């Protein structure tokens, strides 16, 4: 019997030498030391032995079993280590290889202007306000001092979805909403957003475009504050050498109202002016409707078209370029403002 054990140990030793991977090793383990393996079978033979030989044989079988298990375990570790080394070797990264080019998007030119002006005005202490694009006639017109039969409503041909609801024609209704929200407290806001008009008769107009509204209300706000703010904004957008020119104009929500022009150098070297935005001091009636006493509070407001800024800055001939997502157009604005 002990002979048999010795042979078994030797046989395993030989077979182990030939094992090439973990699967083969597992097969070996099952064949010898699992419940139905050869070593367990030897234990079964214990019954055939004379009583006095049984303990010695039993413990010999156990020793052999333990030895085999240890050897198998060691082999397993060895195989695992080798497999790890091989995979590390195989997956070695060559850091000198050229990388794949990563196609990066660009920020839309309209958003670049919006972000740029937001930065400027937040730096001046303004808050950024927001309002709905589907707006109530009351905020869009009436609170902006355009009563139902006001002829100036024709200045802003509109899309109505029902008799009291329309796509906002300007960002000015956010003035009304913010005034009501601030409940008579001083405020400084800018509000960028999309606006809609039935007006697309030439390539520089679109039925949908983008505006930024500005509104400041406080005690002792004068026209001088407005002028200084406009000059800061225009120089920030177009360069420190620019001048502005104010022309008297009319908006129902401001009094006095102005049209603001920015200076530029013509091809012949002369200085020219081109219209860029509308502005004015907040109309007393607008203040009153918004919950501010016009004898105590004054304000100024302005509304600027974002497309117009980009068109003037870069000489773009067709406003539809902004909305058609042609990468050849959009990618030209990579890093322009940052």
Enumerate binding residues for ligand DAH (CB under 6 A): 170, 172, 213, 251, 254, 278-280, 301-303
Nearer to ligand DAH, 28 or 301 (CB): 301
* DSSP characters over 228-279: HHHHHHHHHHH-TT--EEEEEEEETTEEEEEEEEEEEE-TTS-EEEEEEEEE
Nearer to ligand DAH, 72 or 287 (CB): 287
Nearer to ligand DAH, 31 or 225 (CB): 225
Least separation, in Å, of the C-beta of 208 and ligand DAH? 13
Least separation, in Å, of the C-beta of 127 and ligand DAH? 16
Least separation, in Å, of the C-beta of 248 and ligand DAH? 13
The answer to whether the beta carbons of residues 120 and 232 sit under 8 Å apart is: yes
Nearer to ligand DAH, 112 or 254 (CB): 254
The answer to whether the beta carbons of residues 165 and 185 sit under 8 Å apart is: no
Least separation, in Å, of the C-beta of 325 and ligand DAH? 26
Least separation, in Å, of the C-beta of 280 and ligand DAH? 4
Nearer to ligand DAH, 300 or 322 (CB): 300
Residue 100, C-beta contacts closer than 8 angstroms, at least 6 positions apart = none
Q: Of the candidates 8, 140, 59, 105, which has an alpha carbon nearest to the alpha carbon of residue 334? A: 105
Nearer to ligand DAH, 170 or 177 (CB): 170
Least separation, in Å, of the C-beta of 171 and ligand DAH? 7
Residue 66, C-beta contacts closer than 8 angstroms, at least 6 positions apart = none
Least separation, in Å, of the C-beta of 147 and ligand DAH? 16
Helix ranges (H only) for the chain are: 2-18, 22-33, 38-44, 54-90, 109-123, 137-140, 173-182, 223-238, 284-289, 306-314, 327-330
Q: Of the candidates 214, 218, 223, 229, which has an alpha carbon nearest to the alpha carbon of residue 248? A: 223
Least separation, in Å, of the C-beta of 314 and ligand DAH? 22
Cis before 140? omega within 30: no
Distance, CA of 274 to CA of 251 (rounded, Å): 19
User: φ and ψ at 103, to 5 degrees?
Assistant: -75, 120
By Cβ distance, which residue is nearest to ligand DAH?
303
Nearer to ligand DAH, 257 or 333 (CB): 257
* Rounded to 5°, angle at Cα 123 from 122 and 124: 90
The answer to whether the beta carbons of residues 174 and 212 sit under 8 Å apart is: no
Nearer to ligand DAH, 68 or 303 (CB): 303
């Amino acid at each position: 019997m002990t002979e048999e054990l010795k042979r078994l140990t030797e046989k395993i030793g030989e077979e182990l030498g030939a094992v090439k991977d973990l699967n083969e090793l597992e097969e070996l383990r099952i064949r010898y030391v699992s419940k139905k393996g050869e070593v367990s079978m030897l234990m079964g033979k214990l019954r055939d032995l004379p009583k006095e030989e049984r303990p010695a044989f039993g413990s010999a079988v156990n020793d052999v079993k333990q030895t085999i298990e240890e050897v198998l375990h060691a082999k397993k570790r060895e195989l695992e280590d080798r497999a790890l080394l091989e995979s590390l070797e195989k997956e070695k990264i060559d850091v000198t290889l050229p990388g794949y080019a990563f196609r990066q998007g660009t920020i839309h030119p309209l958003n670049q202007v919006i972000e740029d002006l937001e930065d400027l005005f937040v730096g001046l202490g303004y808050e950024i306000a927001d309002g709905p694009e589907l707006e109530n006639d009351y905020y869009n017109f009436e609170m902006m001092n355009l009563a139902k039969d006001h002829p100036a409503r024709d200045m802003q041909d509109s899309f109505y979805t029902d008799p009291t609801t329309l796509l906002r024609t300007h960002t000015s209704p956010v003035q009304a909403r913010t005034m009501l929200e601030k409940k008579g407290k001083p405020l400084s806001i800018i509000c960028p957003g999309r606006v809609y008009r039935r007006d697309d008769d030439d390539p520089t107009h679109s039925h949908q475009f983008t505006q930024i509204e500005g509104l400041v209300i406080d005690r002792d706000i004068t026209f001088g504050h407005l002028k200084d703010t406009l000059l800061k904004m225009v120089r920030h957008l177009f360069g420190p050498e620019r001048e502005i020119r104010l022309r008297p104009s009319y908006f129902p929500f401001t009094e006095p109202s102005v049209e603001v022009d920015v200076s530029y150098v013509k091809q012949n070297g002369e200085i020219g002016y081109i219209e860029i935005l509308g502005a004015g001091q907040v109309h007393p009636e607008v203040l009153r409707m918004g919950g501010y006493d016009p004898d105590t509070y004054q304000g100024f407001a302005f509304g600027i078209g974002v497309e117009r800024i980009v068109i003037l800055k870069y000489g773009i001939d067709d406003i539809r370029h902004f909305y058609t997502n042609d990468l050849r157009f959009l990618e030209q604005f990579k890093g322009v403002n940052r």
